[in-house]
Amino acid sequence: MLDYTIKMKINTDNTTEMITILKPNLRPNSIKQYEIHLNKLKKIFKSDTYDFLSNPDEVMDKLSSNHYTSQRNTLNAVIILLLALNEDDKYSELIEEYQLRRDKLNQQYIKENDKGTVSASQKSNFVELDEIKNMLKTMDSEIKMRGLKKKADLTGKEKELLMVYTIFSMLVKYPVRLDFSGMKLINKTHFNKLKDEDLKMGNYLVNSKNSLLMIMNEYKTSLKYGEKQIPIDKDIEKIIRMYMKATGKSNGDVLFVSSKNTPLSRNSLSALLTKTSKLYLNKSISTTLMRKIVVSSTIPKEVINKQCDLAYIMCHSIEVQNSVYNKSAE
């Protein structure tokens, strides 16, 4: 066993500062997720310090009941923390130990994805997209039956029903991750007056007289792909506007909020989706699984397999195949 002692008592603010210095390009949400994983570890070990990190085998033993992707994410947080603390390379060997374990989990992730199948836990919760659409029809009927679209004083539960109906409707068409969390509603006039630094921060739903436009700045791969502008189609616009009117949303409001009227966090959004799918479908559907459901229903597996085989024969990637060789005479 490696003999290390990590006795720094690091509060959330210090952790944020250290990670930001080490990884200045990380999004705030990524840093927050690292902190969540680290705080969970401290709770598991019932410790105010990080002494327990000196024993990677014990850490892995404590994490063994978690899904391997959760283990991997936790190890990434541990590695980031140790790198931030690694003055004079005093934790270099320990970092390597954690990297070895993380890399094994990465290999497992790659192997699972290469199979083109969902994991065992996802398989038990997998549904066809039509089942999600039928769930939305049931929710819509419930909303109409209870007269929630025009009800003056909505209860917390009624607002939640309208909200989760709207979110699931959006995810069917726009299967993002948990990026609707914190999204702000803003009129086009006000949006056009925002300063450059504000334009590049946060996610917005831009409200024009006859259209809605989703502006995505904060999402997992934003550093690679930059700002995304996604026009909302009329069917989804109708649902969003119904929700906005029923819940009294106006310019500058956060679109989705908790029962305490605070911005719905990513964790709360995830919990709401799984709770709702459990209620209506007896399935726990996360945004990750939702993304797989939408893509799998939109692009048949046989098509993907044919693309892979043809790309292999032609000695190039599917991306090159689609961008360079997949053409039409029209």
pLDDT in the model for residue 50: 87
The pLDDT value recorded for residue 306 is 81
- Tell me the pLDDT band of 206, cut-offs 50, 70 and 90: very high
Burial 304-318 (b: 16+ CB within 10 A, else e): eeeeeeebeeeeeee
CA distance 191 to 163: 24
Distance CA 205, CA 186 (A): 6
Closest CA to 220 of 268, 269, 178, 274: 178
What φ, ψ does residue 13 adopt, rounded to 5°? -60, -45
Residues 110-137 have pLDDT tens digits of 777 655 666 667 788 999 999 999 999 9
Unique residue bearing structure tokens 């391997």: 68
Note the residue count of the chain: 330
Strand spans (E) along the chain = 184-187, 204-207, 212-216, 228-231
Task: Tell me yes or no: is domain 120-298 CATH 1.10.443.
Answer: yes
The answer, yes or no, to whether residue 9 has pLDDT greater than 60, is no
pLDDT at 7 over 60: no
Contact residues for 109 (Cβ-Cβ < 8 A; gap 6+): 68, 69, 72
Q: How far apart are the first and last CA of the chain?
A: 66
Residue pair 204/186 in contact (Cβ under 8 Å)? The answer is: yes
Taking only the tens place, the pLDDT of each residue in 35-89 is 889 989 999 999 888 889 999 999 999 999 888 888 999 999 999 988 888 877 8
Angle (CA) 132 135 137, round 5°: 115
* Percent share of the chain, pLDDT over 70: 92
**pTM tops 0.85:** no
Say which DSSP state 150 is in: T
